[in-house]
Structure 1
């Protein structure tokens, strides 16, 4: 099973998936099977909600880190979150 992401790929939430911000981070809900997943970071929720399927993961990540003046090391955590969500079928490629 692929657990790595392509930085040149364009990601977005899969159809039927929504994220609701919570105090601890966010709840990811998949409508087709009614499963809940957790994101334990407000940054991750904000980042994943910003994936539009049109811009590459690298471009989105660079813009996110720069606009919030975050160190590049924060990007590793966000990319790991994307990899996990993709593996679970919560993210898809393209617009």
Structure 2
């Protein structure tokens, strides 16, 4: 996933807030995933309203040094079908 790409949470996915972050449940695949930090949840929630991934990372105040880790996490979520390209 690149910072200039536009993504969003898939329409079949619901997020349930948890103290550690959130549970993501896909109603089509019945797949359950864990978003392990509140900041990652914030980024995922912002994706749909942001121009691109980089804007969502900036809005969620992800430090520059941590951006590669967040991009990797978002790539994993996308490969599992929890995120979709816009």
The interval holding the TM-score normalised by the smaller chain is: 0.7 to 0.9
Match of residue 50 from structure 1: 46
- What does the per-residue CA deviation read over 1:30-79, in whole Å, with 9 as the maximum and x for residues that have no partner? 001222111111110111111116511112222322xxxx5311222221
Q: Does 1:78 align with 2:70?
A: yes
| Secondary structure of the corresponding residue to residue 19 of structure 1 | strand
Name which one, 1 or 2, has greater alpha-carbon Rg.
Answer: 1
Match of residue 2 from structure 2: 6
Structure 1: tracts of 5 or more residues without a match = none
TM-score norm. by structure 2 comes to 0.87
Match of residue 20 from structure 1: 16
CA spacing shift, 1:53–1:93, aligned 2, 3 Å: farther
Question: RMSD of the TM alignment (CA)?
Answer: 1.6
| Secondary structure of the corresponding residue to residue 15 of structure 1 | coil
Q: Structure 1: which 4+ aligned runs deviate by more than 3 Å?
A: none
- Mapped to 2, the partners of 1:64 and 1:43 lie a distance apart of 7
